[in-house]
Chain A
């Protein structure tokens, strides 16, 4: 007891006097967090921001942003955006259907638990091992490739399929996209109150009308927000694409990677501007997500 008291005395004594000083002391509690964030988040990003406005002689310029219109870079952004959009929409639809199936589709309850666990794992199973798993599946000697050839006589390569292209990358990305959708949408589907369906039925609405006029309008902000989150999720991905294609597809993250390894753009400032363009796109999508999230909270939860 005496020990504890002395500890308290030692700690309380200096802070005891004026209230104003107490406020100053209170701020000290969050100093480690802000110091750490400043050093390892704000400062590095600030470095990129400043660099993006400088030419090679460190003069102020907007030329780097103007150079983003080079065809090579426009193509990189185009590919990244296209792949992210496709996987976000397809993954979003499939993830929604899957979540619907186990929550409202009348499937046994244990499947729901299983799906949620798998989704937690799969949405975090990205990067190198995922790319490798798909090479073993749909690569030139992959399991499914050989199965289709041997059992069904279908040669997917001559049918124009190649895992190491955009469509291949999209199939791989979907592996972590739709489980993420399941995780986001499941709570929203749970939040659809039974009363709403019963009320619609009592008013004579068919299931289709209930979905058209009640459930979907309530879910729309959540669904849109989730798709945006999925977009950002694949837009920022680098490891999976790197391992799968070795850089043969022109993606923003891969261009940034080669820029880091050796100045492939022959202009450091352009590299920084490229990175800033990505941050801006990510920021827009996250802000849109946050706004939609706020809207969806009006009805759900």
Chain B
């Protein structure tokens, strides 16, 4: 209340404010308790399975035997490395396809946008198990007998993952492009004598850093533990390795599950870190 003095209505409001708070605060506190309980339930749901996995992994004797067994297992390192390489190849291919497409659609071919969007959304409609079903049937005979060779199967695996990455990679890149003035940047680069490759590589890519990195980390998180496609293409990937381990061993699968969870955590943490409130951040991969 300053010297000017409030009008009658404001006074009435203030009086209300002075008399009401006990009830309001009481209500808020009670409400708050309920929300604390909800939050607690969520925390339990999150952490109890992880805690159980941790305890299980530590139960092997001598101490940390599960971890040392796993780390000494050549298949562990081999499958993890294999999946990591596949993930990197997937990321590179996906970016190399999506960025020029999204850029070109925005700059020159806006009429194609609905079609491109439709195609990039198709993987949402087609679950991985169906995609790999179609891929195997299509590429296990003439004229493209890809599944008969390791290299061909690897290529098929990367291609399937690239397709899976389309929905969020395109969304990330497209909203990243929306945040920058593509036309002006392109014209500025052109007027300084840059060709298309130079424009994409030195102007567009650096401006999309956040979008590309978040798309890349999400792709990594999904590819590193993917099971369905890898197992049907008979690839020595991390997901099938963990699945087999889970059927044959007691404590080692717990250790590997935790490591796998840690990798997911790192990838998602990186997304949070690089893109606080930045456009083009994506977080959700899809069903497995």
A residues whose Cβ falls under 8 Å from a Cβ of B = 1, 4-5, 7-8, 10-12, 26-27, 29-30, 32-34, 36-37, 39-41, 43-48, 51, 94, 97-98, 100-102, 105-107, 111, 115-137, 142-144, 174-175, 178, 180, 183, 232-240, 242-243, 253, 256-257, 260, 271, 275, 278-279, 282-283, 286
- Check B286–A238 contact: CB distance below 8 A: no
B residues 65-82 touching A (CB-CB < 8 Å): none
Q: Is the CB of B108 within 8 A of A260?
A: no
Judge whether A37 and B265 touch: CB under 8 Å. Answer: no
Q: Is the CB of B257 within 8 A of A133?
A: yes
**CB pair A132 B246 closer than 8 Å:** yes
B116 / chain A contacts, CB cutoff of 8 Å: 30, 33
CB of B63 within 8 A of chain A? no
Residues of B contacting A45 in the complex (Cβ-Cβ under 8 angstroms): 126, 130-131, 134
Asked if B172 CB lies within 8 Å of chain A CBs, one says no
What is the distance, in angstroms, from A152's C-beta to the closest C-beta of chain B? 15
Query: Contact at B130–A133, with CB atoms within 8 Å?
Result: no
Q: Return the contact of A260 from the options B48, B136, B162 (Cβ within 8 A).
A: B136
In the complex, how many angstroms separate the beta carbon of A95 from the nearest chain B beta carbon? 9
Stretch of B33-41, B178-186, B203-211 contacting A (4+ beta carbons < 8 Å): B33-41
The answer to whether A111 touches B124 (Cβ under 8 A) is: no
B31 adjacent to chain A (CB < 8 Å): yes
Contact of B130 among A98, A127, A135, A275 (CB under 8 A): A275
Assess the A8–B283 pair: CB atoms within 8 A: no
Whether the pair A256, B133 counts as a contact (CB closer than 8 A) is yes
Q: Is the CB of A40 within 8 A of B159?
A: yes
Which residue of A is nearest B52, CB measured?
Answer: A143
Quote the shortest CB–CB distance from A275 to chain B (angstroms).
Answer: 5
Q: How far is the CA of A128 from the CA of B116 in the complex (A)?
A: 33
Q: Does B287 contact A (CB under 8 A)?
A: yes
Q: Which residues of B contact A (CB under 8 A)?
A: 28, 31-32, 34-36, 38-39, 41-42, 45-46, 48-53, 55-56, 96-98, 100-101, 104-105, 108-109, 112, 116, 119, 121-139, 156, 159-160, 162-163, 166, 192-196, 198, 218, 221-222, 225-228, 232, 239, 242-243, 246, 253-254, 256-257, 260-261, 264-265, 267-269, 271-272, 283-288
CB distance from A180 to the nearest CB of B (A): 6
List B contacts of A129 (CB < 8 A): 225, 242, 256-257, 260-261
In the complex, chain A residues whose CB is within 8 Å of the CB of B232: 257, 260
Among B46, B127, B160, contact of A278 (Cβ-Cβ < 8 Å): B127
Q: Is the CB of B28 within 8 A of A8?
A: no
Complex Cα–Cα for A36 and B170 (A): 14
Asked if A27 and B52 sit within 8 Å, CB to CB, the answer is no
- Is A98 a contact partner of B39 (Cβ separation < 8 A)? yes
Taking chain A's interface residues, is the majority helix, strand, or loop, or is none over half, making it mixed?
helix
| Interfacial chain B residues near A46, Cβ < 8 Å | 134
- Out of B48, B194, B271, which one reaches A144, CB within 8 Å? B48
A-B contact number at CB 8 A: 277
Given A130-B49, A240-B288, A257-B228, 10 other A-B residues pairs in contact with their CB atoms under 8 A: A8-B193, A29-B100, A30-B112, A121-B264, A121-B268, A128-B257, A136-B254, A143-B51, A233-B287, A286-B121
Give the residue among B53, B122, B192, B287 with the most A Cβ atoms within 10 A.
Answer: B287
**Cα distance A10–B198 in the bound complex, in angstroms:** 13
CA distance in complex: A32, B129 (Å): 25
Note all chain A residues with C-beta closer than 8 A to B227: 127-128, 238-239, 242-243
Within 8 Å CB of B160, what residues of A? Answer: 40
Contacts of A257 in B (CB 8 A): 129, 228, 232
Question: Which of B38, B122, B272 is the one whose CB lies under 8 Å from A98?
Answer: B38
With A41-B119, A51-B137 already in contact, the answer to whether A128 and B242 are too (CB < 8 A) is yes
Give the residue of B35, B156, B268 whose beta carbon is less than 8 angstroms from that of A124: B268
Quick check: A128 and B246 within 8 Å, CB to CB? yes
Q: Looking at the complex, which one of A1, A106, A107, A239 makes contact with B193 (CB distance below 8 Å)?
A: A1
Contacts of B55 in A (CB 8 A): 136, 143
Closest to B193 in A: A4
Can you list 22 A-B pairs with a CB-CB distance of less than 8 A?
Answer: A7-B198, A26-B104, A27-B109, A29-B104, A30-B109, A34-B119, A37-B122, A37-B163, A45-B130, A51-B137, A94-B41, A97-B38, A101-B35, A101-B38, A105-B31, A106-B35, A107-B36, A120-B271, A123-B285, A128-B243, A253-B127, A286-B125
Complex contact A127–B39 (CB within 8 A)? no
Contact of A127 among B41, B122, B125, B226 (CB under 8 A): B226
Find chain A residues with CB under 8 A from B121 CB. Answer: 286
Q: Which residues of B contact A10 (CB under 8 A)?
A: 195
Q: Tell me whether B284 and A128 are in contact (CB under 8 A).
A: no
B39 lies within 8 A of A102 (CB): yes
**What's the least CB distance linking B229 to chain A, in Å?**
10
> Is A236 a contact of B127 with CB atoms below 8 Å?
yes
Determine how close the nearest CB of chain A comes to the CB of B118; give it in whole angstroms: 10
Nearest 4 CB-CB pairings of A with B: A44-B134, A236-B127, A105-B35, A143-B52
| A232 CA / B239 CA spacing, docked (Å) | 22
What residues of chain A lie closer than 8 Å to B283, measured between beta carbons?
Answer: 119-120, 123-124, 183
Please state if A124 and B285 are interface contacts (CB–CB under 8 Å): yes
Query: Which residue of B has the minimal Cβ distance to A48?
Result: B134
